[in-house]
Amino acid sequence: MSNRREFIKKASGIGLASIGAGTLTACSVLEGEKSVSTNAGLNLPNGIVFTRENPGMWAKKVGGHAPVVTVNGTKIKIETQHGMSKKHFIVRHTIVTPNGEVIASKTFSPDDLEAVSEYEITTNHKTLYATSFCNKHDMWVEKFSV
Ligand SMILES: [Fe+2]
């Protein structure tokens, strides 16, 4: 992996397909929507992307890392109940479609007071994924409906 940005980009796509499965079975977890071809057929180990249901080695970190999503019509709010400091902070939130397209994102600074992002989204997708990336505790994904 050449840099963190590349990792986050790849992990965002990986996360979509690994939710709840532990391995990449993209088509089975994407509710009938096609996965991007780069994800199809990959078989990933646990411990790359984490969810509330599959927190792996971060089982004690769920409350502060799994993104909480609130949907109100076309307005979507993502909150990560995590402190923000120069050494330990939430780096980024994204909203990703089942085919891996990032349709919204916010990159945080350690100087931000909280890891909260709000978006106005119009999409034909019924299911979306919110990601939250901690600089120490990796990528977390939450599936939600709109
Ligand atoms: Fe953390």
| Stretch (H or E) spanning 68 | strand 68-72
Query: Residue 67 C-alpha to ligand 1 middle, in angstroms?
Result: 12
Q: How far is the CA of 1 from the centre of ligand 1 (A)?
A: 21
Ligand 1 center–CA 57 separation, angstroms: 13
- Which amino acid type is present at position 39? N
Give residue-wise pLDDT tens across range 1-28.
445 555 445 454 444 443 433 333 333 3
Distance CA 141, CA 19 (A): 8
Looking at the chain, the whole-number percentage of residues with pLDDT higher than 90 is 67
What distance in angstroms lies between residue 134's CA and the mean position of ligand 1's atoms?
A: 5
Give the Å distance between the CA of 137 and the centre of ligand 1. Answer: 5
Considering only CA atoms, give the Rg of the chain. 14
Which pLDDT tens digit goes with each residue over 25-48?
333 333 333 333 333 344 567 888
Q: What is the average per-residue pLDDT within 37-63?
A: 78
Tell me, yes or no, if the pTM score tops 0.85: no
Check residue 46 and give its pLDDT. Answer: 81
Could you tell me the distance, in angstroms and rounded to a whole number, from the CA of residue 41 to the centre of ligand 1?
Answer: 30
Range 95-114 average pLDDT: 97
| Ligand 1 centroid – CA 108 distance (Å) | 13
Tokens 């840099």: give the residue: 3
At residue 129, the pLDDT reads 96
pLDDT (0 to 100) of residue 47:
87
**How far does the centroid of ligand 1 lie from the alpha carbon of residue 127, in Å?**
26
pLDDT digits (tens, 9 = 90+) for 126-136: 999 999 999 99
Q: Does the structure show a pLDDT above 50 at 80?
A: yes
pLDDT value for 98: 93
Report domain extents, the chain. 4-145
Q: Which CATH number fits domain 4-145: 2.30.30.30, 3.30.70.3420, 2.60.40.730, 3.40.50.1100?
A: 2.60.40.730
Q: In Å, how far are 42, 95, 101, 109, 134 from 13, measured between CA atoms?
A: 11, 11, 8, 23, 17
Q: Are 136 and 122 in contact (CB under 8 A)?
A: no
CA 7 / ligand 1 centre spacing (Å)? 17
| CA 119 from centre of chain | 15
